[in-house]
């Protein structure tokens, strides 16, 4: 029997990816490039396997008055890799945040939540410090000691109150954070702060990400413009509450902390709580929005005003863009998938169905194999726990109706459905025919590359 050429090609691809991964690990473990001259060329030749769904380049983001960035290498997990981001925020900056609801959340998350409790305003400056390579999660009392050491050192280096220093950590869970490596480079970072350093900052917070993520917007407002610029990291352990990632968004809008928090919280369900890569919720999710108040535009004081509505829409757009970039960088992803659920008995039911489809390993592996197996979508609807009626259900891929009224659609075309599955951007539509509840979520396929990345993440 002749071999399946696609399976043979996939086997060769897995071998190539495995060889590339070994080469990168060899380079990471080398003491120096001089000590291991053979490993570095191998890693350079193999190069990082950038997601095929990645944007062509990091976007040109608007500079935000009152925000400065620096990035450096502390050697937290890997030598000679940029792994710390420092941000200085001007006096009077309003801060809002959203965080993971994991019951095993990291010390830095608990610390940020405590500092933001009550949304206190301040005329003093503020700062954000982030490290990759170590999550400082499940590290007991030592975790808070590390947070205190890092935030205290940042406060001294920048002359800001320690309660206005917000920290995040991402990487391996359960290992003590070598915080002294971070504090050792803070003076250098403080000396290198630059308004235009946001792209370097985005790279510093990456872990298994294959590309840095950024998004921005600018709106016309009364008295002048308002700018927004945001960065994010995230690739695996991505699920709602609030997906598994770190996100930092900066704006020069004049707005009080409580109003900023209201706007941020209202946008979460349609952005960062509407994505999933693998259904796993992180210990370390954090989203911080900082508004420096240095725009020439009039202050936002009424959420019903034209400026407030435009700002809200622009912020939501930046959040949605970053959230979708996280999915596009899902570990091993080759397909970006939009799941649209309509006709549910309630919005909650629509969410249940959308997430059941988006998280189903059977649905996601069928997508990876470009198999138009819509029966797996039927399965996911049935297991979701939402109200459903087989005879009212309809399913479509893109514009093609595949099933309706409890049966395969009369015009179903297997060849056309299979051809559609070869696209990079897919839309799976489900209408339950029961009500007006609707929800759209975004996910990706599940490939062998996901296993390759996660089988030896710690080692």
Please, where in the chain does CATH 3.60.70.12 lie?
67-329
Biggest alpha carbon–alpha carbon distance for the chain? 76
- Phi first, then psi, for residue 53 (nearest 5°) are -95, 5
Is position 139 annotated as part of the catalytic site? no
Rounding to the nearest 10 degrees, give the CA dihedral for residues 147, 152, 153, 154.
90
Contact 252, 77 (CB under 8 A): no
Count other Cβ atoms within 10 Å, centred on residue 113: 15
Contact 135, 106 (CB under 8 A): yes
Q: Does the annotation flag 251 for ligand binding?
A: no
Q: Does the annotation flag 233 for ligand binding?
A: yes
Task: Report the DSSP beta bridge partners of residue 340.
Answer: 429, 440
Count other Cβ atoms within 10 Å, centred on residue 114: 9
Which CATH number fits the domain 67-329, given the four candidates 3.60.70.12, 2.40.400.10, 3.40.1410.10, 3.40.50.300?
3.60.70.12
Dihedral class, residue 67 (left if φ above 0, else alpha if ψ from -120 to 50, else beta): beta
Task: Report the DSSP beta bridge partners of residue 289.
Answer: 96, 249
Kindly report the pTM of this predicted structure: 0.85
pLDDT at residue 32, rounded to an integer? 26
Regions of the chain where pLDDT drops below 50: 1-3, 5-6, 9-10, 13, 17-18, 20-47, 237-239, 243
Q: Does the annotation flag 459 for ligand binding?
A: yes
Please, where in the chain does CATH 3.10.20.340 lie?
336-456
Is beta strand 246-251 parallel, antiparallel or unpaired with respect to 224-233? antiparallel
Query: What angle, rounded to 10 degrees, do the helices at 347-359 and 361-368 form?
Result: 50
Sign of torsion, CA 119 123 124 126? Answer: positive
Q: Which is catalytic among the residues 210, 244, 271, 447?
A: 244
If DSSP states are collapsed to H, E and C, what string results for the chain?
A: CCCCHHHHHHHHHHHHHHHHHHHHHHHHHCCCCCCCCCHHHHHHHHCCCCCCCCCCCCCCCCCCCCEEEEEECCCCCCCCCCCEEEEEECCCCEEEEEECCCCCCCHHHHHHHHHHCCCCCCCCCEEEEEEEEECCCCCHHHHHHHHHHHHHHHHHHHCCCHHHEEEEEEEECCCCCCHHHHHCCHHHHHHCCECCCHHHHHHHCCCCCCCCEEEEEEEEECCEEEEEEEEEECCCCCCCCCCCCEEEEEECCCECHHHHHHHHHHHCCCCCCCECCCCCCCCCCEEEEEECCCCCCCCECCCCCHHHHHHHHHHHHHHHHHHHHHHHCCCCCCCEEEEEEEEECCHHHHHHHHHHHHHCHHHHHHHHCCCCCCHHHHHHHHHCCCCCCHHHCEEEECCEEEEECCEECCCCCHHHHHHHCCCCEEEEEEECCCCCEEEEEEEECCCHHHHHHHCCCCC
Domain formed by 336-456, architecture: Roll (3.10)
- Phi first, then psi, for residue 100 (nearest 5°) are -55, 150
Tokens encoding 428: 């799976």
Q: Does the annotation flag 276 for ligand binding?
A: no
Q: Does the annotation flag 244 for ligand binding?
A: yes
Task: Report the DSSP beta bridge partners of residue 86.
Answer: 70, 129
Is beta strand 437-444 parallel, antiparallel or unpaired with respect to 336-344? antiparallel
pLDDT at residue 23, rounded to an integer? 45
Sign of torsion, CA 173 213 235 80? Answer: negative
Q: Does the annotation flag 454 for ligand binding?
A: yes
Spatial distance between the Cα atoms of 349 and 327, rounded to a whole number of angstroms = 23
pLDDT at residue 450, rounded to an integer? 76
């Amino acid at each position: 029997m002749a071999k399946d050429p696609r399976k043979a090609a996939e086997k060769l691809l897995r071998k190539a990816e495995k060889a590339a991964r070994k080469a990168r690990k060899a380079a990471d473990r080398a003491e120096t490039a001089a000590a291991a001259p053979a490993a570095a060329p191998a890693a350079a030749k193999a190069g990082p396997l950038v997601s095929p769904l990645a944007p062509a380049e990091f976007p040109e983001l608007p500079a935000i008055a009152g925000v400065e960035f620096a990035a450096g290498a502390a050697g937290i997990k890997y030598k000679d890799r940029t792994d710390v981001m420092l941000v200085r925020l001007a006096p009077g900056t309003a801060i809002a945040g959203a965080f993971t609801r994991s019951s095993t959340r990291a010390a830095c998350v608990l610390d940020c939540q405590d500092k933001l409790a009550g949304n206190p305003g301040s005329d003093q400056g503020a700062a954000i410090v982030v490290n990759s390579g170590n999550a400082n999660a499940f590290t007991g009392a030592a975790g808070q000691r590390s947070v205190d050491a890092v935030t205290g050192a940042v406060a001294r280096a920048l002359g800001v109150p320690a309660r206005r220093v917000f920290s995040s950590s991402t990487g391996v869970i359960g290992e003590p954070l070598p915080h002294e490596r971070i504090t050792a480079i803070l003076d250098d970072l403080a000396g290198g702060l630059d308004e235009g350093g946001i792209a370097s900052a985005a790279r510093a917070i990456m872990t298994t990400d294959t590309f840095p993520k950024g998004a921005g917007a600018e709106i016309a407002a009364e008295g002048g413009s308002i700018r927004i610029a945001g960065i994010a990291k995230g690739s695996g352990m991505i699920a709602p509450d609030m997906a598994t990632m770190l996100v930092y968004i900066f704006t020069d809008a004049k707005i009080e902390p409580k109003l900023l928090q209201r706007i941020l919280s209202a946008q979460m369900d349609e952005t960062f709580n509407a994505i999933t890569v693998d259904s796993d919720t992180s210990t370390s999710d954090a989203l911080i929005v900082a508004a420096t108040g240095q725009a020439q535009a009039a202050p936002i004081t009424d959420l019903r005003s034209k400026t407030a509505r435009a700002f809200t829409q622009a912020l939501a757009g930046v959040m949605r863009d970053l959230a979708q970039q996280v999915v596009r960088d899902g570990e091993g992803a080759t397909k970006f998938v939009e799941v649209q659920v309509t006709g549910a008995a309630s919005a909650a039911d629509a969410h249940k169905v959308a997430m059941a489809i988006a998280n189903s390993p059977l649905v996601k592996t069928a997508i990876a194999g470009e198999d138009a197996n819509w029966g797996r979508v039927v399965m996911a609807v049935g297991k979701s726990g939402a109200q459903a009626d087989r005879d009212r259900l309809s399913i479509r891929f893109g514009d093609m109706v595949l099933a309706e009224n409890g049966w395969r659609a009369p015009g179903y075309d297997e060849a056309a459905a299979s051809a559609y599955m070869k696209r990079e951007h897919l839309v799976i539509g489900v209408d339950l025919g029961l009500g007006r509840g609707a929800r759209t979520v975004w996910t990706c396929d599940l490939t062998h590359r996901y296993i390759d990345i996660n089988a030896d993440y710690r080692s």
